[in-house]
Amino acid sequence: MSKGKILVTGACGYIGSHTWTDLLANGFEVIGLDNFSRSSPEILKGIEKISGKKPINHKIDLRDEGALDVFFEKEKNIDAIVHFAAFKSVGESVQYPLRYFENNVGGMISLLKQVEKRDIKNFVFSSSCSVYGNVKKMPVTEETALAQAESPYARTKQICEQMLEDFALPNETKIVSLRYFNPAGAHPSNCIGEYSHGKPQNLMPVMVGSASGKFPKIEVFGTDYPTRDGSCIRDYIYIMDLAHGHTKTIEYLFNQQIKEDYQVFNLGTGTGVTVLEMLNAFERETEVKLNYQLGKRREGDVIEIYADPSKAKEKLHWEAKYTLGDMVRTAWNWELKNNRK
Ligand code: WQD
């Protein structure tokens, strides 16, 4: 008998797939919904190897309201939805804003129509620290006022959070937005990890790709920032810490008499790390020398952002447990196993 039936959208993506394994490991039944626009069915084999259960994914685009209605007509008794399905590249969103609004916001609207029609009681949204924009006071708490979004991607996350807050009020659904910081690393089994759709933009996949010879070098985007070594500061969080944060959120929604209709939680480590420190951590952990050059700033980058994760610790009984070394080692193992040039 499972602890509950969870629908995970974007379930074959990086964070979705790792969350899938954590929910299974903690006694939940999971149904996947992913159209493979930014993921690979390969990941399902990895989930089966880890869990020993055959994962079920439905290849549906959230914006296809007819297909979604047929799915919800058949798939009864969903206790909660964890909604990851969205495009997530900052750079791509600057180039194709409409594609991001249509997919990320349009997909959310289509899904919420089903939440309302089927009276789904619990909803967890995959938000992002990028909703904070360029704020000065660190660390950021959930009460930190949101600044101007630095990209259309970040703006879609701000809009979706605001839609959820308005939606929660008249509906019986309890809603939580989880603001992730920078996810990194791969499952400890090395059966699943991060697949990059096209050339990776994020630091960790660029770093391991360069170390394995896929790219000639790494460019450090700016070393003239007002930080301890001139490079940007981020809160890198191990992917399985992040995955478990979703499981703890579902347990919180199921087990507590919650008064609030809508809540927000930061899922970060609370520690800021510079780009150069991350490169050094990689070389220390893997003993592989990186070839990097100091380059110009990247448009849209915030200088510094890291979390105050105390609210999640207090209410979700969750905190990040893994280290930068765990992130680097598992990301490197995944690269060596799956993406060598
Ligand atoms: C981190 C730092 C770069 C590549 C974004 C989204 C966030 C989340 C993660 C979805 C920055 C520097 C990077 C490189 C570099 N998205 N860098 N050389 O931009 O902080 O966050 O991706 O979940 O919501 O906003 O992540 O990894 O791209 O950059 O110097 O080749 O690494 O300038 O300072 P970012 P990132």
Of 203, 224, 304, best ligand 1 pocket probe by most atoms within 8 Å of the beta carbon: 203
Number of residues written out for the chain: 341
- How far from chain centre, in Å, is Cα 323? 18
Are 53 and 32 a contacting pair, CB within 8 Å?
no
Does the beta carbon of 301 sit less than 6 angstroms from any atom of ligand 1? yes
Are 109 and 115 a contacting pair, CB within 8 Å?
no
Q: Shortest CA distance to 183 belongs to which of 26, 17, 8?
A: 17
Q: How confident is the model at residue 255 (pLDDT cuts 50, 70, 90)?
A: confident
Q: What are phi and psi of 147, to 5 degrees?
A: -90, 180
CA distance linking residue 209 with residue 200, whole number of Å: 9
Q: Which residue's CA is minimally distant from atom 18 of ligand 1?
A: 220
Does the beta carbon of 329 sit less than 6 angstroms from any atom of ligand 1? no
Are 168 and 264 a contacting pair, CB within 8 Å?
no
Structure tokens of 303?
Answer: 């200088």
Mean per-residue pLDDT, 105-130 = 97
pLDDT at 299: 82
* Known active-site residue 153: yes
Q: How confident is the model at residue 340 (pLDDT cuts 50, 70, 90)?
A: low
Which amino acid belongs to residue 35? N
Does the beta carbon of 266 sit less than 6 angstroms from any atom of ligand 1? no
Query: In the chain, pLDDT over 70 holds for what percent of residues?
Result: 99
Are 208 and 285 a contacting pair, CB within 8 Å?
no
Are 162 and 10 a contacting pair, CB within 8 Å?
no
Packing angle of the helix pair 324-338, 203-211 (nearest 10 deg): 50
Say yes or no to pLDDT of 339 above 70.
no
Does the beta carbon of 196 sit less than 6 angstroms from any atom of ligand 1? no
CA distance linking residue 219 with residue 299, whole number of Å: 14
CA distance linking residue 321 with residue 333, whole number of Å: 20
Burial class (CB in 10 A: 0-12, 13-18, 19+), 261: middle
Does the beta carbon of 126 sit less than 6 angstroms from any atom of ligand 1? no
Q: How far, in Å, are 37, 46, 139, 190, 205 from residue 209 at the CA level?
A: 22, 21, 30, 16, 6
Ligand 1 centroid vs 206 CA: distance in angstroms?
10
State the pairing for strand pair 80-83/5-9. parallel
Are 12 and 85 a contacting pair, CB within 8 Å?
no
Burial class (CB in 10 A: 0-12, 13-18, 19+), 50: buried
pLDDT at 219: 97
Does the beta carbon of 201 sit less than 6 angstroms from any atom of ligand 1? yes
Are 251 and 243 a contacting pair, CB within 8 Å?
no
Ligand 1 centroid vs 228 CA: distance in angstroms?
18
Burial class (CB in 10 A: 0-12, 13-18, 19+), 151: buried
CA distance linking residue 132 with residue 158, whole number of Å: 9
Of 275, 290, 296, best ligand 1 pocket probe by most atoms within 8 Å of the beta carbon: 275
pLDDT at 192: 96
Ligand 1 centroid vs 65 CA: distance in angstroms?
33
Say yes or no to pLDDT of 315 above 90.
yes
Quote the mean pLDDT of the chain. Answer: 95
Q: Which residue's CA is minimally distant from atom 3 of ligand 1?
A: 221
pLDDT in tens, 45-69: 999 999 999 999 999 999 999 999 9
Ligand 1 centroid vs 202 CA: distance in angstroms?
5
Q: Which among 153, 180, 225, 252 is annotated as catalytic?
A: 153
pLDDT at 91: 86
Mean per-residue pLDDT, 309-337 = 97
- How far from chain centre, in Å, is Cα 53? 24
Mean per-residue pLDDT, 204-228 = 95
Q: Which residues, at least 6 apart from 338, have a Cβ–Cβ distance to it below 8 Å?
A: 193
